[in-house]
């Protein structure tokens, strides 16, 4: 009977020690020392720890009375182990940071809700959808498509290049069926550039020798620069159709980006284009406009290589677009309509009847 009461005394002493330790710890959790909020929030954890102590003291109680000192050491060791388990559980409740694409700046927006104020097109050249999407030669492009958005049923308008560039910026090929210079196609028609005058729109042309160059030069192809064909822009082409600068400038509401004929895959390889985008896209996404959460970037090809259907990739990048694959039927007219809707502009020509991407890619 004497041994029984000794064991009961040990168990009660241990339990009182646990309650005292928990109370002290929880008081220190608040500056005012009351500990009321901490005790309420951690009641479940306290029960968990107390249960472990009870089990430890039960095991300690199996020691003979003559060895009660060893029993005390066993209980202290169990109490320490229990608190370490509690700290481990609390630490692992913390949220892990979001994963971002390697080399790509991270933006954490709220909801778009009409906040898109800047639209950027990066226009590549002459590749079929199936030549790009899933291709081992385009790992970066595919990482963008998987991370952000991909239109899986997007088609160009015509062949060769120039009719597509004119169609996507004015809503019609304007009767053009060739790739001739602006001297052969003086276009006095409404277009996205005339809708956004005075620097509200701009073109950025890699390897262009001077502003608004009207003929081919080295790796610059004027047929890939639609702004150079419109005659109703006043001085805007000379002021805002410019070569690449040292860093991207997305201050205009609409920016048309044309890589040179190597980097856009026309004369270069798919790998050349992938490497260009791998270096250029992070720079676009590092701009203050994209970081502010008010910019969408479209990467699109002007036409395919000539196969039936003229299907091409169109990749949509914005802070609101996350792993979207949309099979809606789209075309260059859809891209124009989407841009005009986002920027609050009237719809030009065939853009009025095209499917819109607004609401499909998170913005």
**pLDDT tens digits for range 321-350:** 999 999 999 999 999 999 999 999 999 999
Query: Quick check: is 98 in a domain?
Result: no
Query: Quick check: is 236 in a domain?
Result: yes
Whether 217 and 153 map to the same domain: the answer is yes
Query: Quick check: is 101 in a domain?
Result: no
pLDDT score at 85: 54
Percent of the chain with pLDDT over 70: 69
Mind listing the pLDDT tens digit for each residue in 26-85?
444 443 434 434 333 333 343 443 444 444 434 434 443 344 444 444 444 444 554 455
Beta strands in the chain (DSSP E): 118-124, 149-155, 201-205, 241-243, 254-258, 295-301, 311-317, 324-326, 330-331
Report whether 105 contacts 282 (CB < 8 A). Answer: yes
pTM over 0.75: no
Q: Say how far apart CA 259 and CA 238 lie, in whole Å.
A: 19
Q: Whole domain around residue 59: which residue ranges?
A: 2-91
Torsions phi, psi for 239 (to 5 deg): -95, -35
The CATH number of the domain holding residue 274 is 3.40.720.10
Whether 13 and 139 map to the same domain: the answer is no
Query: Quick check: is 362 in a domain?
Result: no
Whether 86 and 216 map to the same domain: the answer is no
Q: Say how far apart CA 63 and CA 60 lie, in whole Å.
A: 6
DSSP 302-351: S--SS-TT-EEEEEEE-TT--SEEE-S-EEHHHHHHHHHHHHT-PPPGGG
Cis peptide bond upstream of 20, omega within 30: no
Whether 57 and 145 map to the same domain: the answer is no
Taking 70 as the pLDDT cut, the residues of the chain under it are 1-114
Instruction: Give me the residues paired with residue 67 across strands.
Output: none
DSSP 189-245: S--HHHHSTTTTEEEEETT-SSTT--S-BTTB-GGG-GGGGBSSSTTHHHHHEEE--
Q: Say how far apart CA 336 and CA 192 lie, in whole Å.
A: 8
Query: Quick check: is 107 in a domain?
Result: no
């Amino acid at each position: 009977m004497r041994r029984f009461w000794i064991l009961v005394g040990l168990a009660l002493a241990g339990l009182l020690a646990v309650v005292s330790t928990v109370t002290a710890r929880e008081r220190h959790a608040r500056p005012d020392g009351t500990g009321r909020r901490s005790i309420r929030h951690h009641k479940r954890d306290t029960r968990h720890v107390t249960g472990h102590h009870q089990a430890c003291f039960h095991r300690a109680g199996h020691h003979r009375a003559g060895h009660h000192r060893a029993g005390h050491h066993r209980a202290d060791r169990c109490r320490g182990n229990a608190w370490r388990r509690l700290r481990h559980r609390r630490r692992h409740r913390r949220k892990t940071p979001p994963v971002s694409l390697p080399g790509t700046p991270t933006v954490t927006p709220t909801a778009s809700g009409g906040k898109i104020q800047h639209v950027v097109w990066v226009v590549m050249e002459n590749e079929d959808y199936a030549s790009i999407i899933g291709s081992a030669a385009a790992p970066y492009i595919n990482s963008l498509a998987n991370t952000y958005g991909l239109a899986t049923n997007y088609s160009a308008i015509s062949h060769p290049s120039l009719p597509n560039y004119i169609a996507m910026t004015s809503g019609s090929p304007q009767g053009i069926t060739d790739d001739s210079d602006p001297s052969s196609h003086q276009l006095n028609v409404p277009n996205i550039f005339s809708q956004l005058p005075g620097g509200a729109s701009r073109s950025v042309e890699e390897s262009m020798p001077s502003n608004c160059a009207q003929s081919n030069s080295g790796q610059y192809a004027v047929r890939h620069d639609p702004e150079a064909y419109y005659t109703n822009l006043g001085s805007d082409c000379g002021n805002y159709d410019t070569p690449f600068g040292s860093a991207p400038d997305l201050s205009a509401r609409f920016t048309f980006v044309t890589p040179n004929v190597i980097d856009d895959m026309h004369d270069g390889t798919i790998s050349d284009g992938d490497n260009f985008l791998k270096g250029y896209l992070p720079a676009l996404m590092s701009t203050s406009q994209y970081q502010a959460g008010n910019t969408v970037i479209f990467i699109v090809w002007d036409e395919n290589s000539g196969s039936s259907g003229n299907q091409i990739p169109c990749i949509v990048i914005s802070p609101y677009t996350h792993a979207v694959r949309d099979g809606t039927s789209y075309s260059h007219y859809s891209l124009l309509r989407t841009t005009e809707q986002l920027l609050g502009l009237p719809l030009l020509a065939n853009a009025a009847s095209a499917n819109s991407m607004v609401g499909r890619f998170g913005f």
